[in-house]
Amino acid sequence: MTSAKGTPTPLIIDTDPGVDDVLALLLALASPDEVAVKAITLTFGNTTLDHAYANVLRTGAVLQRHLADPSTPEAVKKRYRSFSADAEPIVIASGSTEPLEGKMLTASYFHGRDGLSGVNWLPDDPFPVPKDAIAPLSPTDKHAADVILDIIRQHPPHSVRIAALGPLTNLAAAFRKDPETFAKVGAISVMGGAFDVPGNTSPVAEFNWYADPYSVRVLVDEAPRHPALQGRRLPIQVLALDITSEHTVPYSSLVKATYETPDDTPQGASHLERYIGTFLTHPRAFTNNLVAPEEFHPDQHDLFQAHDPLAIAHAIFAPMPASGSMDGKRWKHTPRRFQIETSGDLTRGFCVVDRRFTGSGSSRKIGGNRAEDAEAEEELHVIENADVPVHRKKQKTDESQIGLVDEVTRTPGIEWFAKMFLERIGL
């Protein structure tokens, strides 16, 4: 089932804001022709859940002030028309505070302790968290996983999109709670993983999948084995670091004002420019400091990697799987099979890709670990009749959908993305 032409696709944004998450939220809110944001469901990740929640409310307040300002262009106000007091409510729900298993970690090294470069503690509190959420933001006490399931139930099967911008813990919880309902999701645009490139949090792991590799395994390995999926897999499209890192936007286009040094704030800078400029100042310095000063070139290095906004762009523009083909409108997807490491001392969150016998002309079977667990092997061999040879009792299952996702391997382009993104958010 696809949305009728002109009807925006219902979208759930599962997120851990987070600087690039806030920019991604703005992009979704500024795209009312294509998507209708039904819920913002929160997870731990870049920061803790209480900061993530505060950051959504804070962003809502900044946006409201920006849209109420007479100097904000009409075109920008029109873009954000779904963010008005009388618009459809956008449910805000808190979810998982820690990964399904293992240690809880955050990315404060990049996003700051509050997820937004410490804007929470600036003098005079220039971007305050309102006491009550600003309409259309509509907080609920329900768990994020229940809100995700509610929204899927309220819409025709395979018509709801999810953009997953943080660890996948809420999605895994929703699947385990009601697999039949969750199986009716239309598409899940996931920012996560690193396949053929190095990680960004550890040498081998991307942050979201490092923060909760167990949830990745639930959605990619456990789900296709569940009867609710009837031999299918979940419609997961992965935007890995392989493609998100390439989609950069010059920091100079994003940071037009900053409040970190109030005296420097340019006259006439808009609310949104001050907010974005302020919370990007710390990540900009962090990224730029990774390059030796003598090798630093602004054109090559002073760049914001728009990981989460690219996942939102996918949810806005890429065709839905139920439309027949996900490829189209200059997006391309390639099947990718992997297993995720959950407990390695050095390799938590690493995507293990089987590269054996994958050259052209090879017909040898890929997959599996050929070394056998001696004890497990013994259980598989049972002597039922001493007169016939030992045989295996294990049932053969069709495993072709297990460990498989659709990796996004082409977008409409880096320049297209940067232009569209800046225009839409209103910078």
Residue 245 sits at φ, ψ, to 5 deg, of -65, -30
Q: Would you say 3 or 120 has its CB closer to Ca ion?
A: 120
Judged by DSSP in three states, 341 sits in coil
The least CB distance from residue 323 to Ca ion, in Å, is: 27
Residue 192 is a binding residue for Ca ion (CB under 5 A): no
Question: Could you tell me the smallest distance in angstroms from the CB atom of residue 111 to Ca ion?
Answer: 9
Residue 24 or 220: the one with the smaller Cβ distance to Ca ion is 24
Shortest gap between Cβ of 12 and Ca ion (angstroms)?
15
Interface of this chain with Ca ion, residues 13 to 52, rule: CB under 5 A: 16, 18, 21
Contacting residues for 393 by C-beta, under 8 A, at least 6 apart: 380, 382
- As a whole number of angstroms, the distance between CA 313 and CA 11 comes to 12
421 close to 248: Cβ distance less than 8 angstroms: no
Residues 305-364 that bind Ca ion (CB under 5 A): 308
146 binds Ca ion (CB under 5 A): no
Shortest distance (Å) from residue 46 CB to Ca ion: 5
CA atoms within 13 A on the CB side of 306: 28
* Per CB under 5 A, 165 contacts Ca ion: yes
Of 284 and 307, CB closest to Ca ion: 307
Helix (H, G, I), strand (E, B) or coil at 303: strand
Burial readout 211-226 (b: 16 or more C-beta within 10 A, e: otherwise): bbbbbbbbbbbbbbeb
- Determine the interface stretch with Ca ion among 91-99, 104-112, 165-173, 325-333 (rule: CB under 5 A): 165-173
How many CB atoms neighbour CB 344 within 10 A? 14
Please report whether residue 112 would count as binding Ca ion according to CB under 5 A: no
Smallest gap from residue 30 Cβ to Ca ion (A): 18
Quote the CA–CA distance of 103 and 211 in Å, as a whole number: 8
How far is 299 from 301, CA to CA, in rounded Å?
Answer: 6
Q: Which of 166, 193, 213, 349 binds Ca ion (CB under 5 A)?
A: 166
Judged by beta carbon, residue 21 or residue 146, the one nearer Ca ion is 21
Number of residues that bind Ca ion (CB under 5 A): 6
* Residues 182/149, Cβ–Cβ less than 8 Å: yes
Give 3-state DSSP helix, strand, coil % of the chain, rounded to 5: 35, 15, 50
Output the CA angle 135-36-240, nearest 5 degrees: 115
**Cβ proximity to Ca ion, 146 vs 308, nearer residue:** 308
Smallest distance from Ca ion to CB 225, Å: 28
Least Å distance, CB 170 to Ca ion, is 12
Residue closer to Ca ion by CB (options 112, 224) is 112
**Residue 208: CB minimum distance to Ca ion, A:** 6
Restricting to residues 282-311, name those near Ca ion by CB under 5 A.
Answer: 308
Question: Residue 111 contacts by C-beta under 8 Å, 6 or more apart in sequence?
Answer: 18, 19, 46, 47, 117, 283
Task: Give the binding site for Ca ion (CB under 5 A).
Answer: 16, 18, 21, 165-166, 308
